[in-house]
Amino acid sequence: MNAVDIPLRKIDHLRFFVGNARQSAFFYRNAFGFDVVAYSGLETKVKDEAAYIVRQGGIVFVLASPLRPTHPDVQRLVLHGDGVTDIALQVDDVRTAYNIAVERGAHGVRGPTKLEDENGTYEFATIRAYGDTTHTFVNRDQYQGVFMPGFREIDPARYSPGTYHPAGLLAIDHVVGNVEEGKMNEWVDFYRKVLGFEQLISFDDKDISTEYSALMSKVVQGGRGRIKFPINEPAHGRRRSQIEEYIDFYGGAGVQHIAMATNDIVATVKALRANDVSFLRVPHTYYEMLPQRVGKIKEDFGELAELGILVDRDDEGYMLQIFTKPVQDRPTLFFEIIERQGSKSFGKGNFKALFEAIERDQESRGTL
C-alpha cells in the first residue's frame, strides 16, 4: 500500500434518517421502483429504530427512523427533515481504512466494530464528513445474511410486495454535497489528504451562473474512479443561490442530490413519470440548438424534448441527464437520472438552462 492508498471499492449504501421509514420505503418502491428487501426493528430485537433496506440494481438505501424520542439522532429530523446521514464506502479492510483516515486527520465517530450472528461477521467503522454527514467503512466479505446483523428479509405480513415497476436504475453515479461559502476547498482537501481522492474537475462561477445567482463546484473521485463526490459552495450573486436555499432549509451542509445511472434514460424517465415523479423542465428553446451543440446521438431529439432530458458532449462521448424536483416539502434533497455514452463529464453545457429552471422553482417558493 502506497502513501495515498485506502482500500476503497465503491459506495456500499446510503443511509437516510427519516420521519417514517415505512412510508419512505413505500415512496421509494412506488415512485422510483425499488425493491423493499429487508427490515430491522422491534421484531428483530432492535429497540430504538426501524429501518428498511430498498434496492434497485446496485443501489442500496437504508431508510431509518426513530422509535423513541430518546434516539440519539432524533433531533436531526427537527434540524434537517428527511435526509442522507451516511455515505457508506465498501473497503477491503475496515481497520486499515479507519486507522489511515484518522492518522490523516479524520474525526473518528466509531472505531472498527464487528457484529456477528448466525450468518457471519459484518465489520464497520465511521468517520465524520461535511456537516453532520458521515462515512462508514464497510466490509461484509464474511457475512452471508441479507444486509447486516439485526436485519432480516422482509415479511409480507409487514410489507406486502404489491405491484410496482422497477425503473432500470443500476448504480450510484455520484453523490453531491453542498457546503457553506468558503468551505469547498477545505472539504476537497479533506477527501484528497484523508481518503486519497484526486480532484477530477473544477467549475467556477463563470461556468455555473445565471443572471441572478452562481455557485462553484469541484469534483473529487476515489476507489479507482468508482466513487465521485462533487462539492458545491455558493458564490456571490444578485439573489440567493440554490446552495444557500439548501443550507438554510437543511440547517447546514449536507447531501444535495444523488445521481443514479441507467442504460436507457428514455425508458427510465417514462417509467418514473408514470409513477408520478416530478422533474425540472427547461425551456423548449433549449432543444432548438441541441442537435447543433451535441451532434449525432442515437436518441430521438423530439422524444428527449418531450421528456425534458438534457444532453451534453465532451471529448469522450456524450451523456444524458434529468433532475427531479425536491422529494419532500423542504427544498433540499433531489435526484438526478444519468446515462453515460462514453462521457465522463457532469453536464457543463447544461448548467445555465438547468440553473435557470431551478431558479424558476425557487421563485415559485419565494426563496430566490
143 and 274 share one domain = no
Q: Does 300 fall in a domain?
A: yes
Determine the pLDDT at residue 217.
Answer: 85
Determine the pLDDT at residue 161.
Answer: 58
Type of residue at 359: E
144 and 181 share one domain = no
51 and 22 share one domain = yes
Q: Does 233 fall in a domain?
A: yes
Determine the pLDDT at residue 1.
Answer: 42
Determine the pLDDT at residue 277.
Answer: 96
Q: Does 101 fall in a domain?
A: yes
Structural domain boundaries, residue 21: 8-153
Quick one: CA dihedral 344, 348, 350, 355, positive or negative? positive
Q: Does 161 fall in a domain?
A: no
Alpha carbon distances (Å) from 211 to 25, 38, 92, 203, 214: 39, 47, 47, 17, 8
105 and 182 share one domain = no
Determine the pLDDT at residue 358.
Answer: 63
193 and 221 share one domain = yes
| 62 contacts 13 by C-beta, under 8 angstroms | yes
Determine the pLDDT at residue 285.
Answer: 85
Where the chain has pLDDT below 70, the residues are 1-4, 156-163, 203-214, 237-240, 347-360, 368
Q: Does 41 fall in a domain?
A: yes
Determine the pLDDT at residue 352.
Answer: 64
Alpha carbon distances (Å) from 37 to 7, 24, 62, 129: 28, 14, 10, 28
240 and 125 share one domain = no
CATH code, 46: 3.10.180.10
Q: Does 275 fall in a domain?
A: yes
180 and 146 share one domain = no
Domain count, the chain: 2
33 and 83 share one domain = yes
Determine the pLDDT at residue 346.
Answer: 78
Strand 317-323 versus strand 334-341 pairing type:
antiparallel
Determine the pLDDT at residue 288.
Answer: 85
144 and 179 share one domain = no
Type of residue at 319: M
Dist CA 306 CA 284 (whole Å)? 9
Report which of 173, 177, 220 is spatially closest to residue 197, judged by C-alpha positions.
220
Of 84, 119, 153, which marks where a domain is finished? 153
139 and 201 share one domain = no
Edge-to-edge strand ranges of the sheet holding 49-56: 108-117, 120-128, 134-139, 83-91, 8-17, 59-66, 49-56, 35-40, 152-153
Q: Does 359 fall in a domain?
A: yes
56 and 121 share one domain = yes
Count Cβ neighbours within 10 Å for each residue of 26-50 and write b for 16 or more, e otherwise.
Answer: bbbbbbbbbbbbbbbbeeeebeebb
Determine the pLDDT at residue 166.
Answer: 81
Quick one: CA dihedral 277, 280, 286, 292, positive or negative? negative
DSSP type of residue 44: G
Of 111, 128, 153, which marks where a domain is finished? 153
Q: Does 2 fall in a domain?
A: no
Of 153, 184, 202, which marks where a domain is finished? 153
Determine the pLDDT at residue 243.
Answer: 87
Report which of 170, 124, 116 is spatially closest to residue 144, judged by C-alpha positions.
116
145 and 174 share one domain = no
Determine the pLDDT at residue 5.
Answer: 73
Report which of 172, 135, 223, 204 is spatially closest to residue 335, judged by C-alpha positions.
172
Name the helix (H) or strand (E) containing 38: strand 35-40
